Structure 1
Amino acid sequence: MDASDDKDPVLRIEGEMTIYRVGELKGTLLAAIGKSSTLEIDLSAVTEIDTAGIQLLMLARKVAEAKGYALRLAAHSAAVVEAFELLNLAGYFGDPIVIVPAA
């Protein structure tokens, strides 16, 4: 996971967002909320996501909203798109999912 020091930080999650890793990711993700008015989470390098990973993203959204901050998901990987489509969650997060056609 990588966070830039820009005005509106971007938190890049790499690798798995599964039950085996959400404990590690939770503290970093929740700590990043509130460092600016908007936190962008770059999901382009997420290789696998399960319901624990999705629950973590939902928790982050709820925490951000409760504190009056914005949370935006960006650059959804294929694994994230597949999970969001399967669970019909794109609308829940309010971010458009852009599917890039295969080359």
Structure 2
Amino acid sequence: MLTPHQTDEQLMLKIDGELTIYEARNLFEQLTPFVSHSEKIAIELSQVTALDSSCVQVLMAFKKARIEQGCELIHHSEVVVDVLGKLGLVGWFHDPIVLSSSQ
């Protein structure tokens, strides 16, 4: 579900699969160790196939906790864009929406 990858500039956290209420606790537990990570984090979402408000809340809490170190959501899947749009939260994250090139 969550795969970390270090680049020269930042830590990339790639999330794939479904992000629904059934995965919310697991997502929270996987993200928690990275809250205090000292460098910028990018969460890559191109392989997210389902998303609901429970996991959106986890992502919001993580981004808010990392306000000083930096965190951005990148390569949004169509599912992510659709759900954030329906919830009226695209602007809340302040991240440019760039769909994965495979979509």
Whichever residue aligns with residue 75 of structure 2, its letter is: A
Worse-matched range after superposition: 84-93 or 47-56: 84-93
List aligned pairs for 1:12-51, cutoff 5 A.
Answer: 12-51=14-53
Runs of 4+ residues over 3 Å off in structure 1: 99-103
Query: How big is the shift at 1:75?
Result: 0.4
> For residues 72-91 of structure 1, what are the structure 2 equivalents within 5 Å?
72-91=72-91
Aligned-pair CA distance for 1:102: 9.1
Letter of the 1:31 partner, please give it.
P
Q: Distance in 2 between matches of 1:26 and 1:102?
A: 27
Partner of 2:60, secondary structure, is helix
TM-score normalised over the length of structure 2: 0.87
Identical aligned residues as a percent: 33
Structure 1 residues 33 and 102, CA, compared in 2 at 3 Å: closer, same or farther? closer
Taking structure 1 as the reference length, what is the TM-score of the superposition?
0.87
State the AA in 2 paired with 1:22.
Answer: A
How many residue pairs end up in the alignment? 101
Q: What letter is aligned with 1:76?
A: H
In structure 1, runs of 5+ residues without a counterpart are: none
CA RMSD of aligned residues (A): 2.0
Instruction: Show structure 2 runs of 5+ residues with no match.
Output: none
